[in-house]
Chains A and B, each alone.
Chain A
Amino acid sequence: MSRLGEHPIVDFDRGREVTIYFNGKPIKAYEGETVAAALYAAGIRVFSRSFRFHRPRGFFCAIGKCSACMMEVDGIPNVRICKVYVRDGMELRTQNSLPNAENDIYSMFDSMIDRFFPHGSHYKKFTKPKFVRELVTAQMRKFTGMGEFPKAELNEKGEYEEIETDIAIVGGGPAGLSAAIYAGRTGAKVILMDENPYLGGQLIKQTHRFFGSGRHMAGTRGIRIGEILQKELYELPNIDIRTETKVFGIYDGVVAAVEKDTKLLKIKPKKIIIATGAYERTLIFENNDLPGVYGAGGVQTLMNVYGIKPGERGLIVGSGNVGLILTYQLMQAGVEVAAIVEAMPRVGGYFVHAAKVRRLGVPIYTKHTIKRAIGKKKVEGAEIARLDENWCVVEGSEKRIDCDFICVAVGLSPAHELLYHAGVEMRFIPELGGFVPTRNRYGETTKPGIYVAGDVAGIEEATAAMMEGRIAGLDAAIKLGYGDEETVRLRDEIVEDLDEFRKGPFGERIVAGLKKIVVEG
């Protein structure tokens, strides 16, 4: 049974039991969970087929970013089911496959298509005469493409709302929440938007006690920090909170968003704070698209939010804090962890997080990498191998690990699309995790009035994200004339606190990165 009953840290209150239909087959689900979670709990691993080779694809990111979970939902094609919540009687169908994704006969393409139609061959083969070209093109189109035309008509009425406000905040993670609270306390009018039905961002799946500064809630569990921040937020009447609201563009200072899929919002703020967090990176290895290869965040969502076990025995790739903490969380859910592999010669995360899983008997293979995932339709094992000084696999060092899932925890990249859209100057700063915006020490970017805070400004952690959020929130409010000298002092104090926080060896990298991107002003 993959649904967790008792858990040491989380009480799962599942909603009303409902029935959804997967390719016609009834499946039990609970209100409040996503379709992807419900199907996973029912043992379904193949969610879709790839475009060209018809390779099986399954659950991966759980946050609507990878598209591996697209299905037809109630007649509407290409819906990412990790973002859709179950409703009684919902009809789900897999797409692009015959008869269904699980047993797709086109999957034979995987082994032969490259022999007959290597990439680009449609420019050369069957191009003449015209009728052959047209016939072949028509046939090819049948096999590719995504889904079929909608069978259902969207009958909900679209709505529209215009909002004028002082500060618009995008993202309700620790950075966005802190920005909202601190700006809100000065009296500024704030709108806070998050695409999820809940606030808290990453915090809602972090069951462990956070490391960081005790004065900034470290020692408290991530999930509780989320609760505390929300309580502070709800005490402020001047904050308009919009969940299930996705911001899709920033046009000349106007923020465009869709609320609950049906309502278009046009927001005219005086200041904008972008706190959209980060995405997980993935890793290249043979079969890395096999169902059962997951992002760390996806596994945490399944396990800590919905109470569903990702498998019985996992392999963790990456020994940064995320990989180490995830290992511990898996063990708390009663899942065995076969090993952690790490390419570097040493653990990437904090020693204490490594020590707490090591003493429970989890081996950590440093200077190792994953070579391939093993399995046909889902992960049945993995092959790992040792790396030499030049990061090359040492021949003959391959070792098979039995596992039914593989978790890739190799770091995050800032979720920066909106910053590009807004026309902010961006630069590649490896120390901060990728492309990040040029900004001043209060987080204001090269577009006046547009601020950043949290992981989107550089991958760090929650303490820093909260401090950056507070600084950005306060500065935006101050510039709008809210607050007094006390507010200015508070802002400057937090700036100093943050500098102090980054003074250790772990902060060195961050500080080096910030030096290149934080400008005066």
Chain B
Amino acid sequence: MSDMKYLERGYIENDELPPLPSEERLTGKRPVAYIECPQPIPCSPCLESCKYDAIKMENINDPPEVIYENCIGCMACIRVCPGLAIFMLHIKDDKGYVTLQYEFIPWLKKGDRVKLLNRKGEEVGEGVVTWALAPERNDRTQLVTVEIPKDLIFEVRAVKRWEQ
């Protein structure tokens, strides 16, 4: 555990990011799961939820490794991740889309404008909700897709409701 600088900060820096999916996969038909869970902890719901062998984990303590080419973007893992550490990423028509777990009220709905936050909680822009899973369909963890500038898909990790 010597090199875990991120534990001193509570967030990971760019050079600590897990391997990135290829440009081709990011612009593919469906979004791809990107898991920011670098520390070995005994936790495995994502592995057990994946039906496509897209998550590799030999021991329950291994950090999950996503085989991006196997991931079909079904979102089974992001529904259950207790660490809120999974983000579905997608680039379409030159726009970026990040899907994340959201557990605050008021719930978000399609069309809502939101503030975009990075890993440190700093505002980095504005986005629009393009899809929101009804909270009751996933034991009250809403899945929310936000449209954002495409170069921010590795930066935006939370959203805040836009209060007028």
Contact = CB atoms under 8 A, between A and B. Distances in A.
Interface stretch (B19-27, B32-40, B66-74): B32-40
Interface string A358-377: 11111010100000000000
A213 B157 contact: no
B163 to A, nearest CB: 13
A507 B40 CA distance: 10
Contacts of A352: 36-37, 39, 41, 82-85
Interface string B1-44: 10010111111100000000000000000000000111111111
Interface in B31-61: 36-49, 59-61
B139 A361 contact: no
A356 B7 CA distance: 13
Given A7-B105, A346-B8, A359-B117, A353 B40 contact: no
B130 interface: no
A350 B81 CA distance: 13
A503 B107 CA distance: 39
B162 interface: no
A360 to B, nearest CB: 6
Question: Chain B: interface secondary structure?
Answer: loop
A89 interface: no
Contact of A213 (B60, B80, B158, B160): B60
Given A8-B103, A345-B8, A212 B42 contact: yes
Contacts of A211: 41-43, 45, 82-83
Contacts of B117: 359-361
B105 A8 contact: yes
B119 A9 contact: no
A428 interface: no
A28 interface: no
B140 interface: yes
A346 B140 contact: no
Contacts of B161: none
A354 B43 CA distance: 15
Contacts of A500: 59-60
A502 interface: yes
Contact of A9 (B37, B120, B140): B140
A118 interface: no
A425 to B, nearest CB: 29
Contacts of A506: 40-42, 61
Nearest to B142: A8
Contacts of B60: 213, 500-501, 503-504
Nearest to B102: A8
Contacts of A356: 83-85
Given A8-B105, A211-B41, A354 B7 contact: yes
B145 interface: no
Interface residues of A, number: 46
A323 B117 CA distance: 22
A87 B157 CA distance: 47
A215 interface: yes
Interface stretch (A17-25, A73-81, A216-224, A407-415): A216-224
B149 interface: no
A350 B105 contact: no
A220 B8 CA distance: 28
A210 B121 contact: no
A481 interface: no
Given A359-B120, A360-B158, A506-B61, A213 B42 contact: yes
A361 B121 contact: yes
B120 A358 contact: yes
B119 A355 contact: yes
Interface string A365-401: 0100000000000000000000000000000000000
Given A215-B48, A219-B82, A359 B39 contact: no
A6 interface: yes
Contacts of B10: 347, 351, 354-355, 357-358, 364
Given A8-B135, A209-B141, A350-B83, A507 B7 contact: no
B124 to A, nearest CB: 11
A358 B120 CA distance: 6
Interface string A1-45: 000001111000000000000000000000000000000000000
Given A8-B105, A355-B11, A364-B10, A218 B43 contact: yes
| Nearest 6 interchain pairs by C-beta | A504-B61, A352-B83, A219-B45, A361-B121, A214-B48, A219-B80
11 contacts: A208-B82, A209-B82, A214-B45, A219-B48, A352-B84, A355-B12, A360-B160, A361-B117, A503-B59, A506-B61, A507-B61
Given A351-B4, A351-B37, 18 more contacts: A8-B107, A9-B103, A209-B80, A211-B45, A214-B49, A346-B7, A346-B8, A352-B83, A354-B11, A355-B119, A356-B83, A358-B9, A364-B10, A463-B42, A503-B59, A503-B61, A504-B59, A506-B40
Interface of B: 1, 4, 6-12, 36-49, 59-62, 80-85, 103-105, 107, 117-122, 135, 139-141, 157-158, 160
Interface of A: 6-9, 208-215, 218-221, 224, 331-332, 345-347, 350-362, 364, 366, 463, 500-507
